[in-house]
Homo-oligomer: A and B are copies of this chain.
Amino acid sequence: MNVLIVYAHPDSNSLTGSLKDLAVSTLRADGHDVVVTDLYAMKWQAAADFTDFDGITGPDFMHASGEAYRSGRLIEDIRAEQQKLLDADLVILQFPLWWFTMPAILKGWIDRVFTYDFAYGAKMPRYGAGPFAGKRALVATITGGRIGHYTERGVNGSIDDLLFPINHGVLSFTGFDVLKPFVEHSAAHLDDQRYTEIAERYRQRLATAFTAEPIPYRQESGGDYTGVTYQDGSELVSGRESPGTSGFALHIVGSDRR
């Protein structure tokens, strides 16, 4: 299978860098074709602006990105990343958690590559369907904090909820089957034994990346939501959740967190 790893860390000697290398070697040893988008090495431009659109300036930024995409006038670095996405069966986003989300350079990869009419659009289905349906995605991230701070009652909030805007809002939105994220904590307090344990856990996750059950996010057009198109209300139909469920858990089939 084809794997795209989008990697964002300024230090190749970091744990994130080591795990990226591990993913490349593990997946290749398993016979997969692996392509790495190394954003820092590429000096990827993070800020999305009109210079991406070959002179197209209207009617607004979003629609200009769509016209540039449809007419083949997007800047070359974006087109190359879009082709990598189209070629991939599995996309891994490998990054350190900075301020509870991805580093700016990776957000800029999303902002610039996921253009209107390529990744989303007024007539495109969302959440469980869409342009990347049939592909899988895995967020692999490292925090500097302690694991107990990232539980539901932990002071930072649950890591699954903190990653919801990425896993649900970016990846499921555009059609990916989203795997349970690979998350390790306390990156600043790492000895050799802990690295060995982390590496082994990551190898196991990579080995099952094409077979593991994805997070059962509800599909927008699967009957769980009101309305039938992008333009409608799209609210969860009453009674679809276990009694007492609230928050982001409402949008996961079978979640009974309350």
Enumerate chain A interface residues (CB-CB to B < 8 A): 9-11, 14, 39-40, 43-44, 46-50, 60-62, 98-105, 107-108, 110-112, 114, 126-127, 144, 146, 148-149, 151-158, 161-162, 164-165, 168-170, 188, 220, 225, 231, 233-236, 244-251, 257-258
Tell me which residues across on chain B come within 8 A of A9, comparing CB atoms.
61
- For the complex, give the distance between the alpha carbons of A175 and B94 in Å: 29
Count this chain's copies in the assembly.
Answer: 2
A186 CB, nearest partner CB in chain B, Å = 11
Residue from B10, B48, B104, B257 within 8 A of A246 (CB atoms): B257
Nearest chain-B residue to A154 (Cβ)?
B235
Residue from B154, B248, B258 within 8 A of A157 (CB atoms): B248
A164 CB, nearest partner CB in chain B, Å = 7
- For the complex, give the distance between the alpha carbons of A39 and B14 in Å: 29
Tell me which residues across on chain B come within 8 A of A157, comparing CB atoms.
164, 168-169, 247-248, 250-251
Apart from A9-B61, A10-B47, A40-B49: 6 A-B pairs, beta carbons within 8 A: A48-B104, A48-B105, A62-B144, A99-B165, A153-B250, A161-B248
* Chain A binding surface, main DSSP class: loop
- For the complex, give the distance between the alpha carbons of A162 and B169 in Å: 9
- For the complex, give the distance between the alpha carbons of A188 and B61 in Å: 10
A39 CB, nearest partner CB in chain B, Å = 8
Residue from B44, B50, B188, B245 within 8 A of A62 (CB atoms): B188
Tell me which residues across on chain B come within 8 A of A146, comparing CB atoms.
231, 233-234
Residue from B11, B101, B235, B247 within 8 A of A148 (CB atoms): B235
Nearest chain-B residue to A98 (Cβ)?
B111
- For the complex, give the distance between the alpha carbons of A130 and B234 in Å: 40
Tell me which residues across on chain B come within 8 A of A47, comparing CB atoms.
10, 39-40, 43-44, 46, 103-105, 108
Nearest chain-B residue to A104 (Cβ)?
B108
Residue from B111, B127, B144 within 8 A of A104 (CB atoms): B111
Nearest chain-B residue to A9 (Cβ)?
B61
Tell me which residues across on chain B come within 8 A of A162, comparing CB atoms.
164-165, 169
Instruction: List 22 A–B pairs whose Cβ atoms lie within 8 Å, in order of A's numbering.
Output: A10-B48, A11-B61, A40-B47, A43-B47, A46-B47, A46-B105, A46-B108, A48-B103, A62-B144, A100-B170, A104-B108, A108-B108, A148-B233, A149-B233, A152-B250, A153-B236, A155-B236, A155-B251, A162-B164, A246-B247, A246-B249, A247-B249
